[in-house]
Structure 1
Amino acid sequence: GIGIVSAASSTAAFPQERLVTDGVHAILEGTSQSAPHVTGILALLLEHEPTLTPTDVRDILSRTATQDEFTTRTYGSVPGTDATSWWGYG
C-alpha cells in the first residue's frame, strides 16, 4: 500500500513531510504497513462472523474497499517507484 497512516514511534525520526499534523501519526507505505492493517480488519471481521470462508472474506474486502484518488496510486505509477527501486524486490 501507499500513503497508509500509521502510529508513529516516539523514538523514530520521520521526515517532516511524512508526519500527519497531529504529530503522532506518519504516512508510510509498503506491505509492512498494509499487512497489519488488513490483518486487524480480518481479525475483527472473523470475531464478528467466525463462519466466514476465505472466499467470503476476500469478497467482503473487495466489495467494501474504498476506491478514491489515493487508491489508484501503485508502485510504478509514481516516477522512481517501479518495483526494482524498492528494497526487497525479487
Structure 2
Amino acid sequence: MLLLASVAWPGLLAALLIGLGTGFWAGPPAGRLPRLAALLVVILALACLATALAGLVPGREGFRVESAAAMLAAYLAGCGLGGLSRRAQS
C-alpha cells in the first residue's frame, strides 16, 4: 500500500481536490433520491475496496483496482468535506 501511495499520490491529491470542489459546488444531498444515490456510490466504493484488500485481482490489473479504490475513496472524502464546508458556511 505504501508503494501505491508513493506512485499514485498525484492522482490521490487530484481526486481529493476535485471532490472538494464538487462537494462545495453541489452541497450535501438534500432529498431522498440523492441520499440513496450517494449511499449506492459509497457501497460501490466499499465493494471496490474489499476487492482490492482481498487481492482477488492479481498483477497489473490488481494495481489498477487498488488505485481506483484509493482514488474513489479520496474523491468521496473530498465530496464529504466540501459539502460540510458549504453547510458550515450557510
TM-score, structure 1 length as denominator? 0.28
TM-score, structure 2 length as denominator? 0.28
Instruction: Please state which structure has a larger fraction of its residues in strand.
Output: 1
Instruction: Please state which structure has a larger fraction of its residues in helix.
Output: 2
Compare CA radii of gyration and give the structure with the larger one.
1
Higher relative contact order (CA 8 A, sep 6+): 2
